[in-house]
Structure 1
Amino acid sequence: METHNNFDQGFVFAGKAKTFSLIAIVIGIICVAFGLYTHTERTFDNLLLMGYYFTCVCLAGLFFCAVQYVAQAGWSASLIRIPQAFAKTLPYAAVVLVLIVIAGLSLTHKVINEEGKEVVAPYLYKLWAIKGVEVKGSETYDAIIAGKHSFLNIPFFLGRLIGFLGIYSIFGYLLVKYSKNEDEIGGMSNYEKSFKMACIFLVILGFTSPIFAFDTIMSLEAHWFSTMFGWYNFAAMWVSGLATITLVLILLRQAGYFSWITQDHLHNLGQLIFGFSIFWTYVWFAQFLLIYYANLPEEAVYFYKRWEPEFKPWFWLNIIINFGTPVLLLMSRDAKRLTSRLKYVCIVLLLGHWLDYYMMIMPGTVGGEGRDFGIIEIGTAIGFGGLFVFGMLASLSRFKYLVPKNHPFLQESLHHHI
């Protein structure tokens, strides 16, 4: 095969990609600094949004690698370096997210609570992290939050967050390490280690990812809860991760890398994007429908906030983009094999799931101020986009080869045809 000539190829992180990513980071820093000076709370919410999104995309890359090992999938072996680069970036994303959360919990400001009293509250998680919320007789006492205080308290919250992200990062490090050893040593021993580590990781992720979503996002509105929220977030994470993996692969292929990737590989990725977009829609609709028809005040309040005039158009646009785009543009077999269309769908879905996370966070935190979409939102997104690109491409450049030469299923991947 002609593609064999490219197997010694490595990725060089230089030129426009490096320059533009650094420029994007600088733009992000400037916009965040401006936001912290003018609209501090809104800026913290945008930092949390993008920190969480950044982490979820990297975690999705690790999840992709683990699934391929556990399923003993052959088709993906020749493109596995891209999700492995995501996994290598995960520790840095985790550090950024933890720093944002710690800063949001540590820095305080004066707010008017639901009873009309002026109280001092942190910029993030103000419903449960405010001082005295669990103490009867305190001006900030909340009976509902007090009942959850054994779980929602700052030391335990930060311990869970750091613990989960630390465990995920360790598994990402091990899977990448074994893959590199596989190239250098050969044989099946490192592949077998990867298989075992992937099995353990998937079990741990299955139990902890809903709690990670409950903590990081759902606890922003601590009076409300949904047992489906964790899987709703997991679906969003997986679809946005798949879209990012596919988009990066297409762009690198157009830049002259990964020349062995065929339309058959892209077709498989398109199938995954299409299928799990439907799954995301199912969970979104099921959560909405159950709460809408039950119409219990303590549950309906979540959607009531999102049906306020300033958010209702975004609420419906969310489902239109994230469901309508893949259904209309990726339904047929041929559509999944069109590089230009797949690239367009990936970009739209990445924007769509940014809106999805935006709707999870803003209505319950800054409320009506969240409708003031502008330089803070755009600049923060650009900055984190540059940070992700820089970290991911720098990680990719540290692989000696872009193809795992001694992967046991490499030949199956190179001859993949459907």
Structure 2
Amino acid sequence: MATLTHHESATAEQLVVTDGARKTFIAIIVTGVVLLIIGILAQVMGWGAAEHSEAAGHAAAAHGAAHEEGSSVLVKRVLVSLWHSNLFFLGVSTVGTVFMAINYVAYAGWSVMVKRISEALSAWVIPGGVIMLIVFLVGRHDIFHWTHEGIMDKGSPNYDAIIAGKSGFLNLPFYLIRTIIYIGIWAYFSWKLRQLSLQEDLNGGTVWFHKSINASALFLVLYAVTSSMSAWDWVMSVDTHWFSTMFGWYVFASWWVSGIAAIALTAIFLKQAGYLRALNASHIHDLGKLMFGFSIFWTYVWFSQFMLIWYANLPEEAVYFNQRLGGFEGRYTFLFFFNIAINFVFPFLGLMTRDAKRQMIIMKIVAIAILCGHWSDFYLMLMPGTLRGDNGFLIEIGIAAIFLGAFLILFTRRLASASLVPVNHPFLDESIHHTT
């Protein structure tokens, strides 16, 4: 981040995103486009197809008529990848507002130094919501089996009694209404808390702080419901026959720890670029504790879900893990174990000691690993139920890089639009002198 320059104005600090930084973000997008093109060529030309033609054959036989309304494998991969990466970035973006709201209602002072980072994360909520609606309307048949024509109509050759039993919840108008409500709530409160924060900067006083607490308390109640329901709608309904009562917590845990990692990573980059002068090792340590603790929480939810399904061994439940552990000629088996290694073992061992949580280089490595690991976690949630044995990585990584570059452009633009330090926050002094 040497491309960022810095100037001082009292206690305020203004981020200046230079042309060099913007070029870096555009380079990420261009790299993503190149990978996407190579991935498309690989799919069209059939490079590497022989390796998994048998798996694809099994998948086609098993899934048969289910995809009769679907597109080609190439189009399907692009649509599912757009859904996958956008879902990940939208969740991380919203966690910025959740993090800020939790700290408000907890009257927490330590986090004031990173408050503007969590505010800026929400820059993707509205663009991500719009992309989500467009991708659903265009590609719903390729992502969600329950959207196929006739699947809930008795007498139709596509009729599925289990899915028909869920028609009260899984129907197009209600689904779209729910999605718009989730995004609307998240976008409104992200905007509201940002505006109150900016007013506090301009006018001072504690009135804005107390208004922020009230808005945060309401938002957290609504987010507790909408985050779980969005996980059912956007992820779990991909595997329409299967359900887990822990799935909402599982998706939230993945989003939450990724959001904490994004906040920590940004704080470290800014500190190393000469910003956030009052940010000290204790702030980094606290962010490290959150990353460490919630990596364990994610693993707890993951294990609880897996262990109960494995132990009961009911076919209608076990199918979810059978697909990921040995299914489709073992195409997801490595990723299944890699998921545990990068999202639990690596953060657990990397951040176990107090000193490790205070070392910026270790925190950077672990934060990047967590972000990559939970992107792959969402990959594992979505791909077996959509692409079956036709999955790949080039197209998916290319689209993820395009999203990353676009996200960074919006994120840094919002970061630069106000002081990095909330100068009139009533707990600013406590945060500046924070020690652990």
Give the structure-1-normalised TM-score. 0.92
Q: CA deviation at 1:260?
A: 1.4
Q: How far apart in 2 are the matches of 1:151 and 1:406?
A: 46
2-side partners of 1:176 and 1:29: how far apart? 33
The residue aligned with 1:356 is 377
2:159 corresponds in structure 1 to 141
| Alignment pair present for 1:324 and 2:342 | no
Distance (Å, rounded) in 1 between the aligned partners of 2:407 and 2:379: 18
Q: Which runs of 5+ in 2 are unaligned?
A: 1-6, 45-73
Shift of 1:328: 0.6
CA distance in 1, matches of 2:135, 2:367: 27
The residue identity in structure 2 corresponding to 1:396 is L
Equivalent residues in 2 for 1:175-194 (5 A)? 175-194=193-212
Identity of aligned residues (%): 44
1:134-283 matches, within 5 Å, as 134-283=152-301
> Matches of 1:269 and 1:129 in 2, distance apart?
41
Query: What residue is the counterpart of 1:417 in the other structure?
Result: 435
The amino acid across from 2:411 in the alignment is M
Q: Deviations over 1:390-418 (max 9, x none)?
A: 1100111111x111110000000000011
Deviations 1:168-204 (A, max 9, x none): 1000000000000001111111111100000000000
Query: Does residue 385 of the first structure (1) align with residue 400 of the second (2)?
Result: no
8 Å contact from structure 1 (residues 7, 402) kept in 2? no
Aligned position for 2:32: 28
Partners of 1:305 and 1:385 in 2: CA distance:
29
- Take 2:38 and 2:9, find their aligned partners in 1: how far apart are those partners? 50
**Which of 82, 85, 101 is the aligned partner of 1:50?**
85
Partner Cα separation in structure 2 for residue 128 and residue 44 of structure 1: 16
Is contact 1:12–1:397 with CA below 8 Å preserved after alignment?
A: yes
Deviation at 1:4, TM superposition (A): 8.9
Q: Give the structure 2 partner of residue 78 of structure 1.
A: 113
Confirm or deny: 8 A CA contact 1:25 1:384 kept in the other structure. Answer: yes
CA contact (8 A) 2:253 2:297 kept: yes
Matched residue, 2:18: 14
- Map Cα deviations across residues 261-292 of structure 1 (whole Å, 9 max, x no partner): 10000000000000010000000000000000
Distance in 2, matches of 1:331 and 1:230, equals 27
Q: 1:302 aligns with which of 320, 329, 334?
A: 320
In the alignment, the residues of structure 1 paired with residue 10 and residue 134 of structure 2 have an alpha-carbon distance, to the nearest angstrom, of: 41
2-structure distance, mates of 1:67, 1:147? 38
Kindly tell me the number of residue pairs found equivalent between the two proteins.
396
1:396 lines up with 2:415 in the alignment: yes
**Counterpart Cα distance in 2 of 1:16 and 1:50:** 26
Does 2:113 correspond to 1:92? no
Letter in 2 for 1:197: A
- Is 1:64 aligned to 2:99, yes or no? yes
- Distance in 1 (CA, whole Å) between partners of 2:236 and 2:413 is 33
TM-score, normalised with respect to structure 2: 0.88
Q: Is the 8 A contact 2:12 2:422 kept in 1?
A: no
Aligned to 1:116: none
| Superposition deviation, residue 29 in structure 1 | 4.6
Tell me if the contact between 2:142 and 2:386 (Cα under 8 Å) persists in the aligned partners: no
Between the aligned partners of 2:401 and 2:146, the Cα distance in structure 1 is 31
Is 2:133 aligned against 1:129?
A: no
Q: CA deviation at 1:32?
A: 4.8
Asked whether the 8 Å contact 1:35–1:43 carries over to 2, the reply is no
Q: Deviations over 1:104-155 (max 9, x none)?
A: 12xxxxxxxxxxxxxxxx2221x10001111111011100011111111111
Q: Secondary structure at the match of 2:143?
A: coil
The 3 A distance-change label for structure 1 pair 310 and 175 is same
Runs of 4+ in 1 over 3 A off after TM superposition: 3-6, 26-38
**CA 305–239 in structure 1, closer or farther in 2 if over 3 Å, else same:** same
Deviation at 1:23, TM superposition (A): 2.7
Gaps of 5+ in 1: 106-121
| d(CA) in 1 for partners of 2:242, 2:277 | 49
Deviations along 1:178-233, one digit per CA (max 9) or x if unpaired, are 00000111111111110000000000011111110000000011100001000000
Whole-Å Cα distance in 2 between the matches of residues 4 and 187 of structure 1? 23
Aligned to 1:365: 386
Q: Aligned with 2:297: secondary structure?
A: helix
Tell me the CA shift for residue 5 of structure 1: 6.8
* Matched-pair contact (CA < 8 Å) for 1:51–1:100: no
List aligned pairs for 1:96-107, cutoff 5 A.
Answer: 96-105=131-140
Aligned-partner SS, 1:225: coil
Greater shift after overlay, 203-212 or 82-91? 82-91
Letter in structure 2 aligned against 1:19: K
Q: 1:290 to 1:6 in 2, by over 3 A?
A: farther
Give yes or no for contact 2:242–2:316 (8 Å, CA) kept in 1.
yes
Which has the larger displacement, 251-260 or 357-366?
A: 251-260
Q: How far does the alpha carbon of each residue in 1:333-376 deviate from its partner, in whole angstroms, 9 at most, with x for none?
A: 11100110000000111111111111101111111111x33x20
Q: 1:381 Cα deviation (Å)?
A: 1.4
